Amino acid sequence: MAEYCISVLSNTVLRRRPSLGRAKACHIAVLALCILVMLGSFLLSHRGDGLRLLGIEWPVGCALYQNFGIKCALCGLTRSFSSIAKGDFSKAAQFHSLGPAFFVFVCLQIPYRINALLATHTENRKLRLTGIYLAAVLAGALLINWFVYLGGLVQ
């Protein structure tokens, strides 16, 4: 929610920018998450329906699929990322059709967030809006992809 500062003398409402500390904390959190996702992509391997982390069976799976037999919008994305990390792009697209696009998006977040943390000036508004636009497009594509799957058009 935006915070406002009211000037008593001029009857003007001025918008105050979010605190720099909160913005940096957000950049750090997203950077850490993206690095963990990339690291996991390289360390995880898939065999059949299961995933392995350094040779140990990974017990976590999709709760929606395990309980109801319905794939969620993100089903296959972990295996897709793992395939891309190992250079198998065709297999990655089989696991999740949007996996390669999400992989590129996550990869690009790392230099963007590092730049935002190291920058002494304010963040480039045009670049930030481009990132928000791309995230919205990917989210929309993810929902459309899932609805197509639920409609029975994609296996």
Neighbours of 94 (CB within 10 A): 14
Give DSSP secondary structure letters for 77-114: HHHHHHHHHTT-HHHHHHH-TTHHHHHHHHHHHHHHHH
Q: Is the pTM of this model over 0.75?
A: no
Tens digit of each residue's pLDDT (9 = 90 or more) over 61-110: 777 777 887 778 888 888 899 899 989 898 888 888 888 999 999 999 99
Are 107 and 41 within 8 A, CB to CB?
A: no
Give the integer Cα–Cα distance in Å for 7 and 47.
63
Tens digit of each residue's pLDDT (9 = 90 or more) over 35-49: 999 998 898 887 766
